[in-house]
Amino acid sequence: MAEADGNGGLNRWSLKGMTALVTGGTKGLGHAVVEEFAELGATVYTCSRNEAEFNKCIHEWEIKGYKVFGSVCDASSRAEREKLMSNVSSLFNGKLNILINNVGTNVVKATEEYNEEDFSFLMATNFESAYHLSQLAHPLLKASKAGSIVFMSSVCGVVSVTGGSIYGATKGAMNQLAKNLACEWAKDNIRTNSVAPWFIRTPLADTVLSNKEYLEEVYSRTPLRRLGDPMEVSSLVAFLCLPASSYITGQIICVDGGMSVNGFYPRHD
């Protein structure tokens, strides 16, 4: 873990010289995090299941002058996760400062309608991938002597949301894992935190929010009465990886416009 800068130097607010792995970095929150890190000076490795989408993003980042590398990877596959971490280790000489477990998906159904395939798919994609990648990254993060893991969770893992019970369970498990690893790996100078957004304007959310009645319900549960922007999440993720946050670990921080503290009753204006 980077030592706190007692002189208040600007390096406390920079990721220059640091390395990061951001899973699922070609769209939505992952894309915003990749660009935030690159702007702050980090060298970033990312991945995506979609090769065409991946190649398009890499090209755009090259034009912007960002130091972003990556590969095609299905994070739900154990073998591909191992290959991904091998690539990261090779590129960064066996050291890694930051791991962002961002990959995630959802299947919205009533609990009684889920089947075995749904359960296995969501657990493997959302939770097992994050757990295994953290295991694989541990020696690299430890070797950097300034390691930070951020889990991209959800308010669905904190409060009840009509977004699917399995999804909520995977995010709740992710939050608990952040607490456990924060204590277990503190001796290795690795900090671990969880970021829990509410509805953010991303492709995954757009499919649900196209329903105007549901969108109004979302607004009614949100004191700020609006959706979040990906950059409002990526800025927090970046902060949790900066030297400036070197005494913060084991936390679950909601980025939700006040939703998680608003109870279960709609606000009427």
Rounded Cα gap, residues 108 and 6, in angstroms: 48
pLDDT of residue 161: 86
The answer to whether 187 and 143 have CB atoms below 8 angstroms apart is: no
Number of residues that this document lists for the chain: 269
pLDDT of residue 10: 59
pLDDT of residue 3: 41
The answer to whether 28 and 204 have CB atoms below 8 angstroms apart is: yes
| Closest by Cα among 99, 105, 119 to 194 | 99
pLDDT of residue 5: 43
Residue 78 CA, chain-centre distance (Å), reads 19
The residues carrying an active-site annotation are 167
**pTM check: above 0.85:** yes
Residue in the block written with tokens 């019970």: 165
Q: Which amino acid is at 218?
A: V
Using CA atoms in the order 48, 53, 58, 60, what is the torsion angle rounded to 10 degrees?
A: -140
The answer to whether 221 and 266 have CB atoms below 8 angstroms apart is: yes
Per-residue pLDDT of the chain (269 residues; tens, 9 = 90+): 344 443 345 589 999 999 999 999 999 999 999 999 999 999 999 999 999 999 999 999 999 999 999 999 999 999 999 999 999 999 999 999 999 999 999 998 999 999 999 999 999 999 999 999 999 999 999 999 999 999 999 999 999 887 799 999 999 999 999 999 999 999 999 999 999 999 999 877 887 788 888 899 899 999 999 999 999 999 999 999 999 999 999 999 999 999 999 865 544 44
**3-state helix vs strand vs coil in the chain, percent to 5:** 50, 15, 35
The answer to whether 215 and 209 have CB atoms below 8 angstroms apart is: yes
Q: Name the DSSP letter for residue 3.
A: P
Residue 44 CA, chain-centre distance (Å), reads 14
